[in-house]
Structure 1
């Protein structure tokens, strides 16, 4: 509870500071003030553990600036994730464990610095390709002009230690994100959009629902505490049905906590004007604008703005969409963007890229077994859902479709809840105690369901082939 209070106070301070911060006009002044306040936030929760963060910044900056840019992203990835593992394992060396909030800062810093290395690598690769084309006197590709190196890409190729320092430690997003690219950071400093956007309105729109989520979190966690799921009384005095259904309130508590934290983090960005772009830019979470915003700078006061770039969660879609696969798209979207861009799309094997991405996600979340039980279980559930959607829901209509969608929705949230309790219990002993108390029933059910689904699919294929042969015979 103490950590939660500290977390809320710091986020509240960051939100309030944004009202003044976004009004600074001088770019260098704005960078230094944002970084200074960021250092103050980090120091207040980390103390001397801040040295971990400074060391990571220093080493990765040297990698990005001085190592061959064809390889700097790989070197940064290996170092930062390796150090993240070391950071969480220092207690085995007899050292004091870093505070929980420092762990969150380290997690976001890992994404930022590795993501920056990938951005630099992409800018370098593009500039080399354009340079080679010009050298070969081939200014077109397929009849179209070659891309030019943008101002942001030029800035990436000229990064220095101070640029990386400001990006790494600016107070916006330093506690729990959301992740945003160097381009988004640079645009927030250099472009006039943050002054033109309705930052206060966007912030209030998010703040007005936070008391509901926070209140539900406190109420349900009081009635159904997580610790009860690992007590002797829970196993000896409660029925199997009660024990199995206990995953529903525990995952509900988790969702309300996450919704509260993520929306507060988004408010830090919106109040500071980070991620503000004209709606015409068609911004996407994590990525930023899908269209060039340069023509809109001169008449920036004429546009409507949004903060889709830093939108990290879509609560309504998370709660109401029908399938497990869809829900994953609306959850922690900026981090998912990072995972998709820098792990999924870059992984050499298409067969194992999903599993590799989820494994990296689990490593990023922590060293506890519960993260792997939860996150790495998803790839094994998704084929089951995909199979039954294809068999029964894909071609359904009317009332039948509505009923099947509701069944899929219940199955989705049960799957999330059953896997999610491992994420919350963390240790193998506690996880095994709970799953043992319900006889691993969900995993057994999913295996049986998948086998039955494959059998039904084979029968449908045989029937379809018979029907096709009969139609061919009749036609002859």
Structure 2
């Protein structure tokens, strides 16, 4: 350990985490410099230099080599392989490289939470695989693509300077979120800002950037507080002897506070990206500029969601969008309904992307059933709480339905989310035992009842009720 690491560690946090936070803060003045550079090549070079520098300083001297090698091989594969299956090869290669990285991490730091090259490698995997799909889509006729796929497709392989500028885009390289190659190239070339209002100039994003930074600083005290409520307390055998109401409350508090660590990192990254200008996302209906192109989380929605779909849509949005666009929808033929297999495969890839600790697979297996239960609840139970074609809420029943849905959704998410944080299965089983396995039994039995026993209401029933009332 260096003298600097020892000094930083004296503040009560691991030196690697403090270094990463310093890099996130340093990205703000550098992001302002990035937006002022006069041409795309200078922007690419600054991104490459700072991305490698951040990785070297905060994660280790040679940690950047992994991102460089995996990116270069992916680029080479896309150069030589036919477009009809090159994206599948790159997808398999990137997940394979990441998997080996995860195994190496388990071997060298089992059950540890130190930061290393696997963090940026996870984000890079999203970027490289989406890039491969975008290039493959660019070789297909427009009538075979959705409007979203057409917008993201690229017709030719970018040059190496453009490619590595995309790889090492420094505002989001360490903590995410992921970005798409089309957005990056449109940003660096100025194409993103070529409309009648902007006329090629990046709009002023100082205040939106500072607002996002303010959100990050606001949640930081909760990051400190999470250290006083370690999630491992939930796996202690003594936890099972506490009163039931206290266990229900504590499991939510301990897991919910852990999420603020993610909120902090994502807000800090997003703020500098917004300052650079890449967060520009068009205009609202009122004509105001939107800066949410790479927004990665909406904390209030996550913390008060009434179903897991809302959580999936508002938590780690970049990764969720990647899973939806490049896994879920690719397994769902156009015009057909999503299947249980597509849902299961999507969560399996998500678990595979996170690593190989059993806790990840426990969480995502449970999330599969939670998602399916939410779908069935919407089809078979919710119609009794709304009426008419416009689904007007029946009050106060609908409000009670929403409140119960929020409480159950958040608690089940915390219960199974604890497994994600425990990492191993032994701690998860200890937690389940403290509740006599009741949450698992309740989830599976509800799935069976909704899927195979309770019938779907007749679609015209709400309409009939509405006509009688009118």
Place the TM-score, normalised by the shorter chain, in its bin: 0.7 to 0.9
Call closer, same or farther: CA 1:311–1:81 in 2, change over 3 Å.
same
Displacement after TM superposition at 1:108 (Å): 0.8
8 Å CA contact 2:231, 2:255 repeated in 1 = no
- Distance (Å, rounded) in 2 between the aligned partners of 1:426 and 1:247: 16
Map 1:31-430 onto structure 2 (within 5 A).
31-44=44-57, 45-90=59-104, 100-126=115-141, 156-191=155-190, 193=193, 195-222=201-228, 224-235=229-240, 237-279=241-283, 304-347=288-331, 350-351=338-339, 352-396=341-385, 397-430=394-427
Superposed displacement of residue 383, structure 1: 3.0
CA shift for structure 1 position 257:
1.8
Distance (whole Å) between structure 2 residues aligned to residue 126 and residue 159 of structure 1: 20
Give the conservation status (yes or no) of the 8 Å contact 1:101–1:175: no
TM-superposed CA distance for 1:112, in Å, is: 0.8
**Equivalent of 2:33, from 20, 37, 46?**
20
Larger Rg computed on CA atoms: 1
Query: May I ask how many residue pairs the two structures share in their alignment?
Result: 422
In structure 2, the CA distance between the partners of 1:25 and 1:390, relative to structure 1 (3 Å rule), is: same
Bigger mean CA deviation after superposition, 109-118 or 206-215: 206-215
Q: Displacement, 1:129?
A: 8.4
1:144 alignment partner in structure 2: none
- Structure 1 residue ranges (4+ consecutive) displaced by more than 6 angstroms after TM superposition: 92-98, 127-130, 149-152
Distance of 2:109 and 2:446 partners within structure 1: 48
Q: CA deviation at 1:120?
A: 0.6
Relative to the length of structure 2, the TM-score reads 0.81
Residues 402 and 189 (structure 1 numbering): CA distance in 2 closer, same or farther, change over 3 Å?
same
Partners in 2 of 1:264 and 1:196 — Cα distance?
21
1:443–1:390 CA distance, 2 compared to 1 (3 A)? same
Q: Which stretch shows the higher mean deviation, 114-123 or 340-349?
A: 340-349
Q: What is the RMSD computed on CA atoms of the aligned residues?
A: 3.1
Structure 2 residue runs without a partner (length 5+): 1-12, 194-199, 386-393, 462-470
The answer to whether the Cα contact below 8 Å between 1:221 and 1:250 also exists between their aligned partners in 2 is no
| Alignment check: 8 A CA contact 1:180 1:309 kept | no
Shift of 1:309: 1.5
C-alpha distance 271-346 of structure 1, shift in aligned 2 (>3 A) = same
Contact 2:162 2:185 in 1 (8 A): no
What secondary structure does 1:21 align onto? helix
Does the 8 Å CA contact 1:203/1:267 hold for their aligned counterparts? yes
SS in 1 for 2:141: helix
Query: How many angstroms apart in 2 are the aligned matches of 1:63 and 1:182?
Result: 17
Give, in whole Å, the separation in 2 of the partners of 1:89 and 1:356.
21
TM-score, reference length from structure 1: 0.80
